[in-house]
Amino acid sequence: MSTKQSTLGQLIAALGLDTENEWSHVVRERLVAYALLGLYVFVIWFPIYFIFITSIKPTSAVLDIPISFVPTQPTVSNYVEIFQNRPFELYTLNSLIVASTTTIICVTLGTVTGYSFSRYDFVGNKTLLLSIVGARMIPPIALIVPFFSIMSNPPLVGGLTGSLYDTRIALILTYTFFNLPFAVWIMKNYFDGVPESLDEQARIDGCSRWEGFVKIILPMAKPGIAATAILAFIFSWNEFVFALVLTSSEQAQTLPIAVSLFVADDFVDWAHLAAGGMIAALPGILFGLFFQQYIVSGLTQGAVKE
């Protein structure tokens, strides 16, 4: 310990940080901040790194002890095999269709509904908004049985379509149910931050209500729309429990379910599971990284008076 301390002391002295001046303070504070942030980044990214290196290890090397954190014989065979041996392209397609459709529905309905809640002072406006957002506060797990029952034997459209069990529609409807309240809430708050005088100016300039919304207000709401889209997409892309309960075959199963199928009763196919996991995680990560600036501006709009 004392050796370590003296080494650190020497380092600090070498960097000129031991003198009690203003700058050494600043530098020391920065060093601590960077160290803490570095630790945090490491904690967050390590599992992803670990899955990645597992996915490019040969199956035989996955369980080697000691664990190698730097792959010695990188291979893409796991990725190739999961597409050859299992219908991974179908799972990916299902995930894409379910997540994209849910996102489009939530953004479209969330935007117009949010705008209405923000601009029209109709009777029951607040109560209705609270009840929509409040319904989302119920823990999803509590709704699994009703959802299973409804999708297996839908009361309203049952006569026309039969069971929705094991269809993408079941997942799209379910994910829309969970995401739409958030979409409405985010968009309502966003529109609250857009001065109403802009709608009015548009009306004076010759727009109908709808034209004003489409030509003036909507282009300004891009960050809010992006935030809504990201949240809806990532939720639908990653959701596992409802997908597990409401689907049973590759005609509707999504990537999270596909990945879980690598876990057998007495054996876990770690290498393929890791490759599947990477494929499942990648779009979400890319989507989030690409649009993250919109999440912040979209969610914080209207928080302070500008």
Partner 1 sequence: MAHVELNDLVKEFDDVTAVDGISLDIPDESFTVFVGPSGCGKTTTLRLIAGLERATDGEISIGDEVVNDRRAYERDIAMVFQNYALYPHKTVRENMRFGLEQHDTPEDVITERVTEAAELLQIQDLLERKPSELSGGQQQRVALGRAIVRDPAVFLMDEPLSNLDAKLRVQMRAELNKLHEELSTTTVYVTHDQVEAMTLADQIAVMDDGQIQQVGAPTHVYSNPRNMFVAGFLGSPSMNFIEGTLERDSAEKLQLDIGTDTHDIPDEFADELEAYLDDQVVLGIRPENISLNQDGIAANVHPATVQVVEPQGEKTVLELDLDTGQTIKAAVDPDTTVQMGDSVNLRFDRDSLQYFDPQTGESLTYESKSEQKLTA
- Looking at 36-44, 174-182, 192-200, 297-305, which segment touches partner 1 (CB under 8 A)? 192-200
Two structure tokens written together for 269: 């196919």
120/267 with CB nearer partner 1: 120
Cβ neighbours of residue 143 closer than 8 Å, sequence gap 6 or more? none
Question: Other CB atoms closer than 10 Å to residue 294's CB: what's the count?
Answer: 18
Does 198 participate in binding partner 1 (rule CB under 8 A)? yes
Burial class (CB in 10 A: 0-12, 13-18, 19+), 81: middle
Residues 219-248 close enough to bind partner 1 by CB under 8 A: 219-220
Number of residues in contact with partner 1, rule: CB under 8 A?
Answer: 13
Q: Which stretch binds partner 1 (CB under 8 A): 108-116, 147-155, 174-182, 195-203?
A: 195-203
- Token pair in block for residue 62: 């996955």
Q: Candidates 18, 29, 64, 200: give the one binding partner 1 (CB under 8 A).
A: 200
Tell me whether residue 212 or residue 276 sits nearer to partner 1 (CB atom).
Answer: 212
Spell out the residues 6+ positions from residue 29 whose beta carbon is closer than 8 angstroms to its own: none
- The correct pick among 33, 138, 204, 286 for binding partner 1 (CB under 8 A) is 204
Q: Does 207 bind partner 1 (CB under 8 A)?
A: yes
Nearer to partner 1, 119 or 136 (CB): 119
Stretch that binds partner 1, among 155-163, 213-221, 249-257, 291-299 (CB under 8 A): 213-221
**Is residue 97 involved in binding partner 1 (CB under 8 A)?**
no
Q: Is 293 in the site for partner 1 (CB under 8 A)?
A: no
Q: Which of 195, 263, 290, 293 binds partner 1 (CB under 8 A)?
A: 195
206: contact with partner 1 by CB under 8 A: yes
- Distance (Å, rounded) from C-alpha 135 to C-alpha 137? 5
Residues 134, 208: contact at Cβ < 8 Å?
no
Alpha-carbon dihedral sign for residues 90, 94, 96, 101: positive
Q: Would you give the distance in Å from CA 70 to the centre of its chain? A: 29
Q: Under a CB-based contact definition with an 8 Å cutoff, are residues 257 and 239 in contact?
A: no
The piece of 30-38, 51-59, 215-223, 229-237 that touches partner 1 (CB under 8 A) is: 215-223
Six token digits for residue 87: 């219908």
Give the residue with the Cβ less far from partner 1, 204 or 282: 204
d(CA 79, CA 277) in angstroms, rounded, equals 10
Query: Using CB under 8 A as the criterion, which residues of the chain lie in contact with partner 1 when the complex forms?
Result: 195, 197-198, 200-201, 203-207, 216, 219-220
